[in-house]
Structure 1
């Protein structure tokens, strides 16, 4: 992940220095442990490695990933908690999803961990609860008002690498 971040930082330095300056410092081991404990999961190693380079962004510049904010560990927990409250209150009981192959047929799962945010309730998530044929840690797209649950990449490293490759 460090090499991918170095490539991304070089691109940002040349093309969007304000966004580069908006990135947070690395997450600490304590912040990552707290996040995993409160989420009740073990985060994929490649995502943890990402957070150990930059713990999201402050949100005072453009959003990092094509109009999606790269959330800090604190914001991840906040957004995940909102979805969990809606799930536990039964708000999704009548909702039907249309998942990609390998993605659980659910409107939302407590083991879908959002790491980006578009400001309107939509996320890219780490899928830590895949369906048969899926892969732990795959990246899925979850829009709050759309039934599709679309597979974006088989893992965070692949997703992040493809994003950086597209910029260069």
Structure 2
């Protein structure tokens, strides 16, 4: 089964669970993003998104944010918020705001407080993000999921891919 097909199957499982246990969060999910919206996001970010993630956006373009965070205290960001968050962090990087700040990344994550190739997809609303790492260090994997906290130097490897992360989240949520 392809990663994109896996994503659709995983969403159906999560939607079924939400329908029975948390209908307000199910109703809070946005409709699908269009193919052109996903391609425009890739253009803005300057990266090709992993198939499983772009397919995820084509199932639900994040959540509205009216019913609480979907992912363990993190809201699933719609495309417009992904682009805004990425732009804000990248502007801070370009302006030198992170100069002198030393991050402590896990193996497989590049040094630096922020990297242009980190794509935020979920946030706790306080400046902390789960990101797709599109520019990993030599030991890492393109598309791995990392945690980036705005005021903590650790950069934590969370999962080897978005599909693995989503599958683990849904498994934990629905069993």
What TM-score bracket applies, with the shorter chain setting the length? Answer: over 0.9
Confirm whether residue 69 of structure 1 aligns to residue 65 of structure 2. no
Give the TM-score normalised by the residue count of structure 1: 0.99
Deviations 1:25-69 (A, max 9, x none): 011011001100011110011101100100000011111001100
Confirm whether residue 95 of structure 1 aligns to residue 117 of structure 2. no
Name the counterpart of 1:18.
Answer: 24
Give the TM-score normalised by the residue count of structure 2: 0.95
The alpha carbon displacement at 1:159 in A equals: 0.2
Report the Cα distance in structure 1 between the residues aligned to 2:62 and 2:10, rounded to whole angstroms. Answer: 15
Name the counterpart of 1:156.
Answer: 162
Confirm whether residue 145 of structure 1 aligns to residue 151 of structure 2. yes
Name the counterpart of 2:4.
Answer: none
SS across alignment from 2:130 = strand
Report the Cα distance in structure 1 between the residues aligned to 2:132 and 2:162, rounded to whole angstroms. Answer: 7
Confirm whether residue 50 of structure 1 aligns to residue 46 of structure 2. no
The number of equivalent residue pairs is: 168
The alpha carbon displacement at 1:93 in A equals: 0.8
Confirm whether residue 34 of structure 1 aligns to residue 40 of structure 2. yes
Name the counterpart of 1:117.
Answer: 123
Deviations 1:67-113 (A, max 9, x none): 10000011100010110110000010110011000000111001000
Report the Cα distance in structure 2 between the residues aligned to 1:127 and 1:18, rounded to whole angstroms. Answer: 31
Report the Cα distance in structure 1 between the residues aligned to 2:25 and 2:68, rounded to whole angstroms. Answer: 6
Report the Cα distance in structure 1 between the residues aligned to 2:99 and 2:68, rounded to whole angstroms. Answer: 35
The alpha carbon displacement at 1:132 in A equals: 0.8
* Root-mean-square deviation over aligned CA pairs: 0.5
Report the Cα distance in structure 1 between the residues aligned to 2:35 and 2:173, rounded to whole angstroms. Answer: 30
